[in-house]
Amino acid sequence: MKKIFLFGATGSIGESSLNVIKENPDHFVLSGISFNKNSTRAKDIIGNFHPEHIFTTNEKSYSWLKKENNLSNTISISNNIEELSEFLNSDNVDIIISAISGFAGLETSILSVQTGKKVLLANKESIVAGGDILIPLSKKTGANIVPIDSEHNAILQCIDDYSAIHNITITASGGPFNGISDSDLENISPQDALKHPTWNMGAKISIDSATLVNKCLELIEASYLFNINESKINLVIHPQSIVHSIVTYSDGSSLCQMSNPDMKVPIAHALSDENRLNINFRELDFDNLSLSFSAFPKNRKIIEDLAREVCKIKNGSGIVFNAANEVAVDAFLNSKIKFLEIFDVILRTFDNVQLSKELDIEKIYEIDKASRIMAKKVVESTSN
Ligand code: NDP
Ligand code: MG
């Protein structure tokens, strides 16, 4: 029986993870969770899964947990890293799932990798911003970082001879505006951008999918996770979200992983050891399956090129890219900037933040802070 700690339990990946755990009661038990604001959902999870430890740094959620009857006797509740770390490093945890959204997940991703345990990584922002310390840290502690971002999990499933990889092709659904020209995107509302055609996800990643910045983050994520040069990573549009990525080998074979779009599939793979798990899944209907692929759109080339630049120069450039995007997405969701202005905020912030060759945790937070200040200035100048 493997004991799981789930960061971001109240989110979309949190829910998919809980479903895989629920469908495999002989293999997994939920020993701990973290959440931020959604105490209603947290209450349900606590009632259904009875975790031993709950972590939140949100003051309101923490005092709600402390007041909640019948909780404190059986469950330990923490709001500080020391107590959390003690629990994560104890025998109560075998596997950690990192599924907080955004840069906010970096601290707990680092803490997870420090344990040297198996870490399922959904929080791509922590690799984009902190890959330069997370990857070396995993080598030092022996932590096994297993991606659950569907594309990266697909790549992992398709790698059978790492040394013979010719290239990798990451697929993108194209989001809700696939094929629509920029002039028609001028007055897109947040509600329109949140409606993803194939995946049901949290707000931030849904906007990233609509702008295709998600694919740029994934390009950087893949270059870190698989230690592969960006020139060997292609991006391609595949609207059906059935083929999750493709690995091509030097002998001409291309291997891909397929499933209907359902995050339970990569999570189930990442949670398994030698043998695959059983989950409830919707089978592909091969009799009626029609798949299409097309080039990554030219009007997103500027942002793709910037992501490729991040892979080449490193030195904290991923922190700037990520922070500028987070600020821009938040500004768009709050109707402060228009959809296409998200790109301006990223590009203009990128040119105006000092990078650093010497990266440590403090430096990462410093660059992130400077990037957010700059991005907010750009937002203000854009919205005026
Ligand atoms: P959601 O917005 O659905 O959930 C985010 C989770 O993180 C919630 O539990 C939320 O808590 C918690 N959270 C948010 N902000 C903070 C904070 N400041 N401190 C602590 N906890 C916080 O996001 P998703 O589940 O969609 O995405 C999670 C991660 O997985 C992201 O990095 C995303 O890019 C990645 N991912 C998601 C996919 C998907 O299909 N959804 C696919 C591939 C990757 P609360 O709700 O209680 O406030
Ligand atoms: Mg993905």
pLDDT tens digits for range 183-197: 888 889 999 999 888
Q: Report the nearest-CA residue for atom 18 of ligand 1.
A: 104
Mean pLDDT over the full length of the chain: 95
Task: Give the up-direction half-sphere exposure of residue 229: CA atoms within 13 A in the CB hemisphere.
Answer: 5
- In the predicted structure, residue 384 carries a pLDDT above the cut 80: no
Bridge-partner residues for 209, per DSSP?
none
Task: Give the up-direction half-sphere exposure of residue 283: CA atoms within 13 A in the CB hemisphere.
Answer: 4
Phi, then psi, of 297 in degrees rounded to 5: -60, 140
Identify which has the larger pLDDT, 384 or 64: 64
pLDDT in tens, 153-206: 999 999 999 999 999 999 999 988 988 888 888 889 999 999 888 878 889 999
Q: Which stretch of DSSP H or E encloses residue 229? A: none
Ligand 1 pocket test: pick from 6, 7, 12 the residue with the most ligand atoms within 8 Å of its Cβ. 12
Ligand that lies nearest to the alpha carbon of residue 152, given by its number in the listed order: 2
Please tell me the predicted confidence (pLDDT) of residue 273: 93
Q: Using CA atoms, how far apart are residues 191 and 90, in angstroms rounded to an integer? A: 43
| 207 Cα: distance to centroid of ligand 2 (angstroms) | 13
Please tell me the predicted confidence (pLDDT) of residue 61: 96
Domains and CATH numbers, the chain: 2-147 (3.40.50.720), 152-260+296-383 (1.10.1740.10)
| 70 Cα: distance to centroid of ligand 1 (angstroms) | 28
pTM to 2 decimal places = 0.97
- In the predicted structure, residue 69 carries a pLDDT above the cut 80: no
108-137 mean pLDDT: 98
Q: Using CA atoms, how far apart are residues 108 and 284, in angstroms rounded to an integer? A: 36
Task: Give the up-direction half-sphere exposure of residue 345: CA atoms within 13 A in the CB hemisphere.
Answer: 33
**Residue 132 contacts by C-beta under 8 Å, 6 or more apart in sequence?**
314, 316, 359
127-141 mean pLDDT: 97
Query: What ligand 1 atom has the least distance to the C-alpha of 150?
Result: 43
Query: What ligand 1 atom has the least distance to the C-alpha of 10?
Result: 9
Q: Using CA atoms, how far apart are residues 246 and 316, in angstroms rounded to an integer? A: 28
7-14 mean pLDDT: 98
Q: Residue 119: what residue type?
A: V
